[in-house]
Amino acid sequence: MNNIEYLKKYYKGDINEAIKRLEAGEPVQYIVGSVNFYGYDLDVNKNVLIPRFETEELVDNTIKFIKSKFDKVDILDIGTGSGAIAISLKKETNSNVTATDISTDALEVAKLNAKKNNCVINFVNTNIYDGIKDKFDVVISNPPYIREDEEIEDIVRNNEPNIALYAKDNGLYFYENILKGIDTILKEKYLIAFEIGEKQFNDIKLIKEKYLPQANIELKKDMQGRDRMVFITNIE
């Protein structure tokens, strides 16, 4: 289904106006105002990143790990955006979920999506996990990981929130800052799940060795064969 067909099927307003917005370079998801993520209907607007298929793969792998290793889990989703990861994990696992974001506008979208999908999630407006005292079995994040000098598609750069796309230190800023203090919020047995850029694994592995030298790290590729997910755990 191409974008025009998608608009005709899902857009409820003036289709000619919608096509003009599409031709002006606005993503079809923002025009329609919603996306399907892991089977759940989520509202999206320019305050949140549009959830991608690759993030569905991160969620799917995390769900499989949780179901194989835990009965009930406490989960922290860092940089929740639209709430896509938090909502999917809450719906698919026996869990308590906390989700953080530094953007109050993004959290408003996430809260509406949680309500829309009948989810009880603890949303916290903070940077990474500042001020959070609870401990978690699972920490998951799809953080900003694009280098500040990296070229990306115009439709992404011109429409989606830069705060959710770009990161300092060659795109590694959030991995470093999540891992460097993470022992304060981890339970005895844990899983850390990240979405990553396709050339970042070796650098993230070095960061992991600095802060969690005893933990195992596993790389998984996405459906296009690109390095995309990292799982860090001390569970055999």
The confidence band for 236, taking pLDDT boundaries of 50, 70 and 90, is confident
The confidence band for 6, taking pLDDT boundaries of 50, 70 and 90, is confident
Q: What percent of the chain is modeled with pLDDT above 70?
A: 100
Instruction: Compute the average pLDDT of residues 183-208.
Output: 97
Is residue 1 predicted with pLDDT exceeding 80?
A: no
Instruction: Compute the average pLDDT of residues 114-138.
Output: 98
Give the per-residue pLDDT at 36: 95
Is residue 55 predicted with pLDDT exceeding 80?
A: yes
Write the CB contacts of 186 (distance below 8 Å, at least 6 apart in sequence).
Answer: 135, 136, 139, 192
* Closest listed residue to residue 140, CA positions, set 180, 182, 191, 90: 191
Give the per-residue pLDDT at 188: 97
Instruction: Compute the average pLDDT of residues 12-24.
Output: 92
The confidence band for 12, taking pLDDT boundaries of 50, 70 and 90, is confident
Contact criterion met (CB below 8 Å) for 226 and 210:
no
Give the per-residue pLDDT at 149: 84
The confidence band for 23, taking pLDDT boundaries of 50, 70 and 90, is very high
Q: Which domains are assigned to the chain?
A: 48-233 (3.40.50.150)
* Closest listed residue to residue 3, CA positions, set 158, 42, 24, 160: 24
Is residue 225 predicted with pLDDT exceeding 80?
A: yes
Indicate the pTM of the whole model: 0.96
Instruction: Compute the average pLDDT of residues 69-90.
Output: 98
Give the per-residue pLDDT at 150: 86
Give the per-residue pLDDT at 117: 98
The confidence band for 136, taking pLDDT boundaries of 50, 70 and 90, is very high
Give the per-residue pLDDT at 230: 98
